[in-house]
């Protein structure tokens, strides 16, 4: 379905603060800088609805965007942000985890994985945590447009994705559904 209407509704710092109109919602989660906010903009075909940044740690709240007046797309703070003070980091993961466990209108989670770099343990652990808590998820591989870089293992996006799939099978009986995307070329947007 086409996105015909998209509007920012609210930033919340706790699950209780989130909008209470009962619309179904889909949340984007993933490491800081993986491209969550950029993907929101790609999906809604707007350049700056969600704020993005080269520096990790841009999104610090639970941000609700209402789409077609019928569902929410939710932009969350990233995890694994190395430059934040440890206390802040713990706090973020605590409040996003509380959101996942207690947000009754949450339909599914999009777990974003950077396809331009080799698989990271923290992403596998996060996927595993969502799985253990029976939270439905789709893996969204981001930055598939990026050219391979030697310092990042020298593999193409497709190869990094294959490696990630192999590793995730150690955590899941069957690998979650997955989509390859790019917010630059809009690959995977539909």
How long a stretch of residues is the chain?
Answer: 190
Residue with Cβ nearer Mg ion (37 or 168): 37
Residue with Cβ nearer ligand GTP (21 or 158): 158
Q: Which of 48, 54, 86, 151 binds ligand GTP (CB under 6 A)?
A: 54
User: Facing residues of 80 across strands?
Assistant: none
Contacts of Mg ion in 5-64 (CB under 5 A): 36-37, 58-59
The answer to whether 45 and 190 are in contact (CB under 8 A) is: no
Stretch that binds ligand GTP, among 11-19, 47-55, 125-133, 157-165 (CB under 6 A): 47-55
Contacts of ligand GTP in 141-180 (CB under 6 A): 142-143, 145-146
Element (H, E) at 157: helix 157-168
**CA gap 103, 35 in Å, rounded:** 23
- Which of ligand GTP, Mg ion, none binds 64 (CB below 5-8 Å, type-dependent)? none
Residue with Cβ nearer ligand GTP (18 or 39): 39
**CA gap 15, 101 in Å, rounded:** 10
Backbone angles phi, psi at 166, to 5 degrees: -60, -45
The answer to whether 50 and 67 are in contact (CB under 8 A) is: no
Beta strands 71-75 and 25-30, pairing class? parallel
When asked if residue 80 is in the footprint of ligand GTP (CB under 6 A), the reply is no
Stretch that binds ligand GTP, among 25-33, 83-91, 102-110, 161-169 (CB under 6 A): 25-33
When asked if residue 58 is in the footprint of ligand GTP (CB under 6 A), the reply is yes
């Amino acid at each position: 379905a086409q996105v015909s209407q998209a509007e920012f509704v609210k930033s919340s710092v706790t699950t209780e603060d989130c909008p209470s109109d009962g619309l179904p919602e889909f949340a984007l989660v993933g490491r800081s800088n993986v491209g969550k906010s950029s993907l929101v903009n790609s999906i809604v075909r707007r350049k700056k609805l969600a704020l993005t940044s080269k520096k990790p740690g841009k999104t610090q709240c639970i941000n609700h965007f209402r789409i077609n007046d019928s569902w929410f797309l939710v932009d969350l703070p990233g995890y694994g942000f190395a430059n934040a003070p440890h206390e802040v980091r713990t706090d973020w993961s605590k409040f996003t985890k509380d959101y996942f466990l207690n947000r009754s209108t949450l339909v599914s989670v999009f777990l974003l994985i950077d396809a331009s770099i080799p698989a990271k343990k923290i992403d596998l652990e996060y996927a595993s945590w969502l799985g253990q808590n029976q939270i439905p998820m789709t893996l969204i591989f981001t930055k598939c447009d990026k050219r391979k870089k030697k310092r990042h293992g020298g593999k193409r996006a497709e190869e990094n994705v294959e490696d990630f799939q192999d590793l995730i099978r150690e955590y899941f009986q069957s690998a979650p559904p997955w989509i390859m995307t790019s917010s630059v070329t809009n690959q995977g947007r539909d």
